[in-house]
Amino acid sequence: MILVWLIVIPFIGGLLCWQTERLGDKPTRWIALATMLIELFISLWLWTHYDFHLPALDGSTTQWALEFRVPWIERFGIDFHLAMDGLSLVLIALTSFLGVLAVLCSWNEIVRRIGFFHLNLLWILTGVVGVFLAIDLFLFFFFWELMLVPMYFLISLWGHSGSKGQTRIGAAIKFFIYTQASGLLMLVSILGLVFAHHANTGEYSFSYQVLLETTLSPTLATWLMLGFFIAFAVKLPVVPLHGWLPDAHAQAPTAGSVDLAGILLKTAAYGMLRFALPLFPEASQAFAPIAMGLGLLGIYYGAVLACGQQNVKRFVAYTSVAHMGFVLIGIYSGSLLALQGVIVLMLAHAFSAAGLFILSGQLYERLRTREMNKMGGLWGRLGTLPGFWLFFIAASLGIPVTANFIGEFMVLFGTFPAAPWVVVLASVGLVLAAIYSLILMQRVHYGPPQSKTPLKGLDAREFAMMLSIVVLLIWLGIYPQPLLDTTEASMSEVQQVFEPSGTALREAPNGPGMPITLMSETR
């Protein structure tokens, strides 16, 4: 039942915010903040009170720490079926933490129609939490599409119209059509899977566990897998399908960018880990080289295009493309180490990208511009803000001590036995990351200043927000073990399904020289 509450609380919070707007700004903001804090508290409470180190059985059944199930549409065997394991828990905790940040960072930025704004903000989070919990494919799709609608409103109503005819409404519509159309492809794939199951057994079911058992012909499996992959690839984004991302990021309000980069992109990686790989293991294995190639393409494409951007938010958006390339490589590597690395990298990217977007928002509040050619020489004029900026840039280029380093290292190390050349090429991408990160820092904060007048420094709210992200990034960078313990069971299941034959790769993570203990002794 507590899983239902996780979904219902932000939903009701959103309605309350909408209705309390008439009482003024402050109550609305505080209600939104309280809602997200309750959500965060519940997920942390679950983390400490439930055992997520469940033994991964031999891949035949999936064990959930918590489960909730009621029949929904019996005609097609659709259940309202929620379940939580370590993976979903971690991502829900991330969602609620970034939700708190999103409310906080729009404290001064959003001044118009705040009731409706917070309604949309909280409903996005409702949809995302639903995506992370839904284990019935119909329900998953339901939430998957549902979270787009409030995001669309957020971008189109509170976004910024960029230069040269790039309107916020255009960006929002582009975002919506890209994701919705690819989502429909996934719906076709889901239905294909369900009807294949129906042809085998004569029963309709959308249940994840039931459909895992479906036997498919290799051709059909490939097509269905592609349907899922494209839907997730659009959202991740994988390079040829990334067209919506820079516009959506550049035009969204700060809270929208934080949600987009921090959470919505993660739903795609989650979908691959939870659905695309386990449902179609053989097809995914055959597809892995292509997926890794696309990941490499993303790393280079994102890095190169980032170097040429003038808009700070577009810049960060393209670096997201590059980082998601690493995530894609890790997902399709099929090694436990890399899969665990994907989790760390996802969290690290969520924190560092959210940090950079919030900083861009704060910069905008002071300078009223996002164009880099109007910045420069800000170091010394802005109090502590450039310091935080430097930290997040260092994190995003993967400096040791930050979580990004751990994530990238684990992904590359875990992938090496399977695909050494991919790792070699991806490592070159790391150099590019260093280059674009330093370019960003140089253009914004160093160089000749545009003026000498000091600007307003960070206030307590902004400082606390940034500090909390910094602490989390460093904590995960130094001691990621609690996180790894939580997600290990889920990840090893993914890995076992993906590698049913138990090839040589499987032994690789346990080789000597492992920097991080993966086999937890606490079982």
Residues that bind another protein (CB under 8 A): 72-75, 112-113, 116, 141-143, 145-146, 149, 152-153, 156-157, 169, 172-173, 176-177, 180-181, 184-185, 187-188, 191-192, 195
Which CB, 247 or 485, lies closer to another protein?
Answer: 247
The whole-angstrom distance between residue 517's C-alpha and the CA centroid of its chain comes to: 25
Which CB, 191 or 476, lies closer to another protein?
Answer: 191
Which CB, 143 or 301, lies closer to another protein?
Answer: 143
Which CB, 75 or 452, lies closer to another protein?
Answer: 75
Report, in Å, the least distance between residue 368 CB and another protein. 20
Report, in Å, the least distance between residue 397 CB and another protein. 37
Tokens of 6: 């996780």
Which CB, 173 or 435, lies closer to another protein?
Answer: 173
Q: Which helix (H) or strand (E) holds 83?
A: strand 78-84
Report, in Å, the least distance between residue 148 CB and another protein. 8
Which CB, 25 or 145, lies closer to another protein?
Answer: 145
Neighbouring residues of 377: CB distance < 8 A, sequence distance ≥ 6: 445, 446, 447, 448, 449, 450
Report, in Å, the least distance between residue 18 CB and another protein. 9
Least Cα distance to 261 among 124, 114, 391 occurs for: 124
Cis peptide before 71 (omega within 30 of 0): no
Q: Judging by beta carbons within 10 Å of its beta carbon (0-12, 13-18, 19+), is residue 429 exposed, middle or buried?
A: buried
Decide if 168 contacts 251 (C-beta within 8 A): yes
Report, in Å, the least distance between residue 200 CB and another protein. 14
Cα 182 to Cα 232, 256, 317, 355: the distances in Å are: 8, 21, 20, 29
Report, in Å, the least distance between residue 435 CB and another protein. 37
- Count CB-CB contacts under 10 A for residue 421: 10
Decide if 42 contacts 133 (C-beta within 8 A): no
Which CB, 65 or 147, lies closer to another protein?
Answer: 147
Report, in Å, the least distance between residue 152 CB and another protein. 7
Decide if 353 contacts 396 (C-beta within 8 A): yes
Least Cα distance to 371 among 242, 244, 453, 250 occurs for: 250
